[in-house]
A and B are shown apart, each in its own frame.
Chain A
Amino acid sequence: MATILEASGLGSMVSMIMVFLFVFVVVFALLKKIKFFGSDGFDAIIAFVFAVFTLMVPETHVVIGNFLPWFFLFLLLALMIIMFFMFLGVKGETIAGLTKEPFMQVIGIGGILMLFFISMTQAFGPFLMVDPAAIGFWATTKRLIFSRHFLGMIVLFFIGAYTISFLAESK
């Protein structure tokens, strides 16, 4: 089934405009919020440059176009869980307390990172796959990070850190 943008024949054009708008508005709003330059003109110029540079890389359209809808679905799931939660009689303050739990924050950040990597894969192909024959800085770094020794060491560190904190607890 053709999407609405494809059916209108303006797919790439609308997609470009949307990406430009999104990057421009987000960068402008953030610059305005943190008051880095203190002037709307400077903020607008910098946001414009960011947006144009983003448009110049075609893969960014794919990343943003894939990430945003999936992110919304993630958000919708969270909202629905909260809705069920409140439907079952839990108060709003309790939910606010739950969102401060590190476990919940890890799930949220992990989910968003996963969506981002999936979007990157849509644009750049399986860029995290390790090619044993490839040469160069990026290929070597990937081989190092995704090697059994390195990942095993990270797991060991995690277990060690958890054990130390568990044993050192005063209770």
Chain B
Amino acid sequence: MDFYELLGNFDQIGGFDLLLPFILVFTLMFAVLEKIKLFGEKKNINMVVSLVVAIFFLNNTYLIFVLQKFLPNVSILLVIFLMALLLFGIFAGESEFKEGMVGWAFIISIIAIGFALFSDMFNPIMGPGYGLSGWWYDFIGPGNTGMAWALFFLVIFIFMITRDTSKPTNPLSELVKYMGKNSKKR
């Protein structure tokens, strides 16, 4: 028996559809309940609540499908970020985390998770009207491509015309700095 066969057997007995999602949901719920101590120090209560949530989760096939698409995408993004950080590390060496970077990290995290949630982003087979990213295929359809580019250049053009060159920063970096500053205060 090779690994392909082993994984095939695991898939056939419902390992990917039932067992792994159950373990994930149960463990995460239990860990979060243990951490926040919503019901006090009672382990058995946390266990029952986690069990109920996990079983209800298994009863929703759509959510299992989303989970199976979402988690590999998160892994891919983590690998991409890791490689990017390694590449930056070659040139930058050791660097400390500065104030404004918190805001950027927040924005990048949100975008990454949104990207991972559009679960078919990495699957070229999926098409218009499919899944969460169907709007993207519809938007970049043959009839809209010209309009999308026109809008993009319009925004760039307006930004170039209206920006205040006397100030060294732009509103986005101000916002990011503000977020970073506020979160550091706590």
Contact = CB atoms under 8 A, between A and B. Distances in A.
Interface of chain A, helix or strand or loop or mixed?
Answer: helix
B35 to A, nearest CB: 11
Interface residues of A, number: 49
Given A89-B105, A90-B97, A101-B183, A68 B58 contact: no
A73 B66 contact: yes
Contacts of A77: 113, 117
A88 B60 contact: no
B39 A29 contact: yes
Given A68-B53, A79-B28, A87-B78, A15 B40 contact: no
Given A25-B45, A68-B53, A88-B108, A94 B183 contact: yes
A75 B50 CA distance: 13
B59 A30 contact: no
A76 B81 CA distance: 20
B52 interface: yes
A85 B106 CA distance: 6
A14 B55 contact: yes
Interface of chain B, helix or strand or loop or mixed?
Answer: helix
Given A75-B32, A77-B113, A94-B186, A25 B59 contact: no
Interface in A109-132: none
B121 interface: no
Contact of B61 (A3, A29, A71, A96): A3
Interface string A33-55: 10000000000000000000000
A26 B14 CA distance: 30
A145 interface: no
A81 B110 contact: yes
A108 interface: no
A55 B84 CA distance: 53
